[in-house]
Every structure is written in C-alpha cells, then in structure tokens.
Amino acid sequence: MLSNTECGKWNELISPAYSPDSAHFYDKVYFLGKDLFKAWPFEYRQVDPIIPSKPSKKPSKNYVWFKSNGELADDLSLHQELLAYASDYLMLNTILRPHGLVFWDKSLRLASLDHALWLHRPFQVDQWLLYELESTVAFGSRGFCRGNVYNLQGDLVASTSQECLIRD
C-alpha cells in the first residue's frame, strides 16, 4: 500500500483530472480525430506522454491512469480478464521512452515476447486505476518493463512484467 504522502502527491499532481484523455491528446497532437477512440475499450490518460512528431528522451518511469469506457457487471473474473488486456497496452512504449523512440516509428520492429500479471486483491476496472510502469533494461534488442496497478485508495491491486523484442 502507498503511504499517505504518496497518495496525496498522486492525487494532487497526476490525478486523471490533470492528465489529457486519449481522444483529446491524439486529436490535438496527431490530428487523428477523436473518432479513433470512440470504439476503444479503455480510456488511458498518460501523465507525461511522448509526442511522436517530436520524440524526446523521457524518464524510464511512466504513469498512466486508465479505466474501461463504460460501466461493467460486478463480476471479478471479467474485471481481471480486462485488466490483463489493458495492462499490456503501454509496456512497450515505456521501454522506448528513455531512448527517445516511439511505437509508431516505421524503422522499428517490435514484438511482445511475454506478458505476466499477478492479481493481489479485488478491484474494478471501470473505476480509475493508476498504472506505474518502469523500464528497467533495454539491451541486445530486448527490453524489460514491470508495472504496478493501484486503485484510487492507493492499494496495490496487481503487478505486471513484460519482455519485448526491439530491432531497427
């Protein structure tokens, strides 16, 4: 569980209210249009997103708020399955952050080699969750990322890890 200081800091500095929603961010920055995200099953709000048109090196730590787009049945198995899907989305991007690279770079060949998820306590994926991601190593065409998922109360609800292949 996070300390009160950490929870207070997160609520003040990087709450979902202060992070741009995906549809707004991609419409304004990439000019892709908000329609791209209407059918997307999750809303992701990156705290410090990389702008692909102007990539720059960023810290190896990444914070992302996310939740499902819409209410879900009160079925723990459904929420766990959807977390498995949602938690895979930004791990590869986090590995690329310290190198100033972006997922959309056509010169890169990227693949997830594995993705692991540990569930620690019940949660609801239709409520805001904070995903704390960290790239710990990228070397020899491989990268590794681990993550922690917290509920709004600061409780650790899940942990993740992923190894990726990265070639140019």
Contact 87, 158 (CB under 8 A): yes
Closest to 119 (Cα-Cα) out of 61, 76, 90: 76
Strands 109-119, 61-68: pairing is: unpaired
Is 162 among the residues known to form the active site? yes
Q: Which of 48, 53, 105, 112 is catalytic?
A: 112
Is 112 among the residues known to form the active site? yes
Contact 52, 102 (CB under 8 A): yes
In terms of Cβ atoms closer than 10 Å to its own Cβ (0-12, 13-18, 19+), residue 113 is exposed
Tokens of 17: 């209210």
Quote the CA–CA distance of 12 and 72 in Å, as a whole number: 28
Q: Which of 88, 155, 159, 161 is catalytic?
A: 88
Is 124 among the residues known to form the active site? no
* Residues designated as active site: 88, 112, 162
